[in-house]
């Protein structure tokens, strides 16, 4: 009987699952205007940032998240801001896009009312600098939402605009252009703003936020980079539960994805509409003729994990599939870390492959009032592997690496870090890893 019980206990902790993300994909901040960039083996997701107390658009900076499995996203914090432009006002860090060329990274930033500027960096993580000291494009306040693509022949195109759509040919330096700015006369049906321009399997695509409000995502196709554009339908219809939307589309590891946003986290807190948006993600597919089958509006169920996460290497605490209650911050010693941790808050990390078994858990933390990290697998109320105590008086004010023994766990599991303690903020959390024994 004892052996049988042991067998079932081991079976429970050795299950194999394919994890799925949940929309919206970022919960620690309000995020909008997703601009994914596939660079080497990683998806760099640049987003706009709605401030926590925003009612209308209150956007001061741009944030970066990265992933290699599409379900766990690592928060890199603010990578550029209005302060990077000497000519920018205090508000208006709208929908940017980053593209790589010859080892440099070009970030096209619409500054509301001021036109489109460009920042340059040697790294996708920044720091970014403004080489021009002025907007690259400014015809009117309708110059927003730039999207850029480099064609196979090396010619780069910048499209943008609300409610008209414009394009220009960029020079090889990517910070200047040649020829006239062209307003497209084949503007697709219900084009509003937020164009996303790309080429795939010989077809050119212009996806965009459709006429407001609510905004869905429409798309047009062409045989040429400069059109004419033929409207092909909706990737997703708008939905009254959400006013805006804004596409970003990539292929990654053999799958195709569309990013956009909804207002789910705002409405979870208040009945009032505020511009506090949250980036969402779904799979798309392509028909043989290149058209895109329509998706439902953003579902809560997200995309499947690509591969698994290795729990035996240091993972940043701000690598998150789903978080409840916590925020992220940065300091000189730890870099990014998870903060604002209260009793009952939690973080889920998807699909960690413990292989033949882990017996210890290590975390780098900095105590505040003190508490514990309770380790669950598979669900918030799933089996408890163990608990790492963080003593406020011992670790207060400095980062410390602590280890505890845990029940043996094998196979692939979602991990839930459930935070326990008394009143107030318990501790800050920098990174974690498991050890075999
Ligand atoms: O985020 C500010 C503006 O709202 C963007 O530029 C538009 O695309 C819309 O999402």
Interval 144-158: pLDDT, tens: 999 999 999 999 999
Residue stretches of the chain with pLDDT short of 70: 1-17, 394-396
Ligand 1 pocket, residue 94 CB under 6 Å: yes
Ligand 1 pocket, residue 34 CB under 6 Å: no
Ligand 1 atom with least separation from CA of 32: 1
Residue 437 is predicted with a pLDDT of: 78
CA neighbor of 338 nearest in space, from 363, 307, 324, 317: 317
CA of 114 to the centre of ligand 1 (A): 14
CA of 46 to the centre of ligand 1 (A): 14
Interval 344-371: pLDDT, tens: 999 999 999 999 899 999 999 999 999 9
Ligand 1 atom with least separation from CA of 48: 1
CA of 348 to the centre of ligand 1 (A): 29
Residue 6 is predicted with a pLDDT of: 41
Ligand 1 pocket, residue 96 CB under 6 Å: no
Domain boundaries, the chain: 20-304, 315-435
Answer yes or no: CATH 2.40.170.20 is held by domain 20-304: no
Residue 395 is predicted with a pLDDT of: 66
Residue 423 is predicted with a pLDDT of: 85
Interval 253-287: pLDDT, tens: 999 999 999 999 999 999 999 999 999 999 999 99
Residue 12 is predicted with a pLDDT of: 43
Do 315-435 and 20-304 have the same topology in CATH?
Answer: no
Q: What is the CATH number of domain 315-435?
A: 2.60.120.260
Residue 19 is predicted with a pLDDT of: 87
CA of 249 to the centre of ligand 1 (A): 16
Residue 16 is predicted with a pLDDT of: 45
Q: What stretches of 239-368 show up as alpha helix (H) in DSSP?
A: 264-269
Interval 196-206: pLDDT, tens: 999 999 999 99
Distance, CA of 43 to CA of 21 (rounded, Å): 15
């Amino acid at each position: 009987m004892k052996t049988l019980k042991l067998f079932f206990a081991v079976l429970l902790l050795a299950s194999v699952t394919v994890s799925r993300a949940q929309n919206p994909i970022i919960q620690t901040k309000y995020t909008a205007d997703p601009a994914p960039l596939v660079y080497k083996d990683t998806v760099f997701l640049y987003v706009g940032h709605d401030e926590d107390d925003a009612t209308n658009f209150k956007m001061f900076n741009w944030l970066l998240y990265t992933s290699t499995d599409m379900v766990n996203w690592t928060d890199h914090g603010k990578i550029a801001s209005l302060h990077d432009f000497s000519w920018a006002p205090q508000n208006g860090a709208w929908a940017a896009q980053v593209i790589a060329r010859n080892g440099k990274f070009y970030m096209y930033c619409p500054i509301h009312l001021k036109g489109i500027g460009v920042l340059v960096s040697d790294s996708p993580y920044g720091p970014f600098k403004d080489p021009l000291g002025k907007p690259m494009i400014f015809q009117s306040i309708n110059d927003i939402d730039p999207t850029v693509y480099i064609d196979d022949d090396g010619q780069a195109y910048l499209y943008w605009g609300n409610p008209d759509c414009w394009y220009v040919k960029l020079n090889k330096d990517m910070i200047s252009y040649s020829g006239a700015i062209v307003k497209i006369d084949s503007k697709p049906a219900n084009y509003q703003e937020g164009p996303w321009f790309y080429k795939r399997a010989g077809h050119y695509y212009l996806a965009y936020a459709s006429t407001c409000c609510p905004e869905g995502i429409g798309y047009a196709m062409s045989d040429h980079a400069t059109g004419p554009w033929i409207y092909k339908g909706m990737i997703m219809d708008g939905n009254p539960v959400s006013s805006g939307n804004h596409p970003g589309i990539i292929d990654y590891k053999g799958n195709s994805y569309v990013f956009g946003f909804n207002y789910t986290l705002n409405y979870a807190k208040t009945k009032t509409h505020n511009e506090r948006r949250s980036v969402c993600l779904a799979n798309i597919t392509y028909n043989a003729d290149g058209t895109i089958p329509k998706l439902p509006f953003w579902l809560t169920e997200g995309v499947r994990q690509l591969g698994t996460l290795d729990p035996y290497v240091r993972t940043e605490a701000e690598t998150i599939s789903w978080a409840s209650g916590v925020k992220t911050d940065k300091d000189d010693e730890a870099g990014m870390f998870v903060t604002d941790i209260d009793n009952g808050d939690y973080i889920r990390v998807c699909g960690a492959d413990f292989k033949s078994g882990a017996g210890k858990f290590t975390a780098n933390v900095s105590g505040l009032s003190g508490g514990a990290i309770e380790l669950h697998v598979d669900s918030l109320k799933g089996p408890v592997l163990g608990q790492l105590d963080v003593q406020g008086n011992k670790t207060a004010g400095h980062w410390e690496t602590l280890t505890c023994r845990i029940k043996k766990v094998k196979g692939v599991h979602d991990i839930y870090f459930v935070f326990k303690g008394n009143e107030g903020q318990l501790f800050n959390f920098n990174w974690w890893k498991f050890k075999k024994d």
